[in-house]
Amino acid sequence: MSRRGLGRGLESLIPTEYIEEEFDVTADIDEQVSALRELKLAEIEPDKNQPRKIFDEVELNALAVSIAEHGVFQPIVVVKAGVKYKIVAGERRWRASKLAGKKTIPAIVRTLPAQNQLELSLIENVQRADLNAIEIATAYAKLKTQFNMTAAQIAERVGKSEASIVNTMRLLNLPEAAKKQMVENGLSEGQMRPLISAEPEIVAEVVEKIVGEGWSARRVEQYMTELKAKGRTSSKHTVRVAGTYEKEVAEFGQKLGVKKAEIAISARGSGKIVLRFANEEELKKILGA
């Protein structure tokens, strides 16, 4: 009997393209054993053992257009293989960069021992009892993005169910303020999971109740069910814009000198632009722009 997976629909809701260093438990060791370089595309080759062989041409061409205009936001991950470099993660970005006519691409260069060391370190970290759910979710996302591991493979390595891995990673969809509140106040995954698809203002409202009034996971679920019955919630009301203003927002981010700018607009017309920065120095540059 074949095992039914979770499907692309649910996994597509997991934001793994950008790993936030604030919650990355192996950021320090990664910096020690890795090197960020600009490599020639001709020096890089795909991994012949990579299970993914087919790439959607429409999506690839769309990414190529974006890369031609704005560059590659997330470096690919490679290891040295003879005179060339082998792709560990990011073949789609490498292919799109070639289509865009680029000659080089930003790449995180690791040695195979370092890659294995990081993978083991990540897996050991997620099994620790003192990590918060956001740090665990970030570790899962890093295993998925930079180690090409599926949710099923991660689940097998850490001894959890595939659904548990996916649900934990989906916490990364929460607004930044909510994630910080979750960490600072020790809020549980059960308390926050019902809020994943809610509008930011509703998330803020409920988090305040959790922190101030000690709402349990069950109480949060009941409240969100009540809101849904009143027609005042959820993923139907929040749309992450992938096309309409994407170019303008990316250009706005480039003017400010940030590597990534994102936009989200609700069905009611309200929205937000998120500017990501790596450290305090970048923040000062943005504020001074």
User: Percent of the chain, pLDDT > 70?
Assistant: 79
Backbone angles phi, psi at 76, to 5 degrees: -80, 165
pLDDT band at residue 209 using 50, 70 and 90 as cut-offs: very high
Give the other-Cβ count within 10 Å of 186's Cβ.
11
- pLDDT at position 84, please? 92
pLDDT band at residue 75 using 50, 70 and 90 as cut-offs: confident
Q: Could you tell me which residues come within 8 angstroms of residue 70 by beta carbon, excluding any fewer than 6 positions away? A: 250, 251, 254
Report helix angle 200-213 to 217-229, nearest 10.
140
Q: Are 148 and 50 in contact (CB under 8 A)?
A: yes
Task: Say what the pTM is.
Answer: 0.58
Does residue 143 share a domain with residue 44? yes
Active site residue 199: no
The residue out of 127, 144, 173 marking a domain boundary is 173
Quick check: is 1 in a domain?
Answer: no
Quick check: is 162 in a domain?
Answer: yes
DSSP secondary structure, 125-164, as one string: HHT-TT--HHHHHHHHHHHHHHS---HHHHHHHHT--HHH
Does residue 25 share a domain with residue 98? yes
Q: Could you tell me the residue range of the domain that residue 244 belongs to?
A: 238-288
Quick check: is 2 in a domain?
Answer: no
Quick check: is 275 in a domain?
Answer: yes
Does residue 148 share a domain with residue 52? yes
Higher-pLDDT residue of 193 and 265 is: 193
- pLDDT at position 211, please? 93
Instruction: Please report, as a single letter, which amino acid is at residue 146.
Output: Q
The rounded distance, in Å, linking the Cα atoms of 274 and 259 is 11
Quick check: is 63 in a domain?
Answer: yes
Q: Is the pLDDT assigned to residue 10 strictly greater than 60? A: no
Number of domains the chain is built from: 3
Quick check: is 227 in a domain?
Answer: yes
Does residue 168 share a domain with residue 73? yes
Catalytic residue among 45, 91, 280, 282: 91
Q: Is the pLDDT assigned to residue 44 strictly greater than 80? A: yes
Does residue 156 share a domain with residue 58? yes
Does residue 181 share a domain with residue 168? no
What's the distance, CA 283 to chain centroid?
A: 20
Does residue 124 share a domain with residue 232? no
- pLDDT at position 245, please? 59
DSSP secondary structure, 208-275, as one string: HHHHHH---HHHHHHHHHHHHHTT--STTTEE--SSTTHHHHHHHHHHHT-SEEEEEEETTS-EEEEE
The residue out of 173, 197, 220 marking a domain boundary is 173
The residue out of 196, 220, 236 marking a domain boundary is 236
pLDDT band at residue 2 using 50, 70 and 90 as cut-offs: very low
- pLDDT at position 148, please? 76
Q: Are 264 and 201 in contact (CB under 8 A)?
A: no
Does residue 203 share a domain with residue 80? no
pLDDT band at residue 289 using 50, 70 and 90 as cut-offs: low
